[in-house]
Each structure stands twice: as structure tokens, then as C-alpha cells.
Amino acid sequence: MEYLQKAVEEIVEALSTSLKLVEPNQVNKFIDILLEAKEKNRKILVMGAGRSGLVGRAFAMRLMHLNFNVHVIGETITPAIEKEDILLAISGSGSTTTVVTAARIAKKVGAKVVAITSYPNSPLGRCSDHKVIIYGRTKVAGKKDYFSRQILGVHEPLAPLGTIFEATVSVFLDGLIVELMHRLGKTEADLKKRHATIE
């Protein structure tokens, strides 16, 4: 249980630190993009690979509860992306091949690409129309052996791989749903009306 407790404390602390670094101007513009898409009934397609994709799916579900025209890329019933639609692409590294490819295709057809990433100058960051920068684990310790890391004072995070980014984005997007509810005048009861009844 020792590592469980240490990891939980580290994740919670990293979440708090990362969320405080998110730029309000980036968030406000993201909200404006979402609300304009809703007003004009434009499609919002959500894309992410692996665990980032799961976070995206959870956000898409809540957007659906708020009656947005939202889809998840990769589903058999996902429609084509068209001019002025929105692609929300989630990738911590900003270099995940499938995500970058989807973003480039979206740009070619005239859709707007919104990236959530830790790296604004990544391939995804460079081809996006708008970015929300959310910092996760930005480097892995170069020294593999524990003793060398201790001597050099190098601390490798307990949470592996993209855990910090994915958890932070999940909390951020859940908070964003609450902000959208407020701006749209929606309550939990309104969301519940659109919640799945066959499960």
C-alpha cells in the first residue's frame, strides 16, 4: 500500500499544479468555439489514442448530454468531417501518428482543429487552429538505475507514462462541462433526460 498512497498523493499534487497553469484565455476561446458549434449545429468530432481517447469519449458523452452534435472518431456511425466542423484532438505528446493524421485531414477539408496537448510546438500543436496547453509528465529520467538517479537527485514520477496528462485533462474537461452547463442554463436534471436508458 506504500506505493499506492505515494502515487495517489503525487497524482493529486500534479493535477493541482497542472490545472493552475492552464491559461484562462485559451479556455475562454475553447468555450467560444464549442458554443458557436452548438449554435450553428456544426459537428464536433473527438479524437485521441489510447487513454487520451477514453478521456475524449467521456467528454463527448457529456457534450451529448448537453445536446451538442458530437461524435467520436473511430466509431462505425461517425459521419465525415466537413468544412467548419470541429475536430477536438487530444494528445499529450502532440505527435501521436493517428491523431496528427486526423488533424491534417480535418485541416484539408476546412474544419477547425482544437488541440489539447502538453507541447504547443509539436506536429499537432503546429497544425491546430487553437490549443489548450495542459502539462503532464514532460520527461522521463534518463538514468535507468535507481542508485544513479538518487545520487544525481533525479526524481522519476511514480505515475507511469501519460497518467498525469490524462488525469489532468479528464478533470479539466469535467470542469468545462460544468461551465458549459452554467452558460447554457442547464441543470443536472436536463442532462439526465438525455442519459442512456438502455444500459
CA distance 133 to 126: 13
Bridge partners of 47, per DSSP, are 89
Residue 70, classed as helix, strand or coil, is strand
* Active-site residue set: 166
Cα 23–37–132 angle (5° rounding)?
20
Q: Report the C-alpha gap between 106 and 101 in whole angstroms.
A: 9
Helix (H, G, I), strand (E, B) or coil at 144: coil
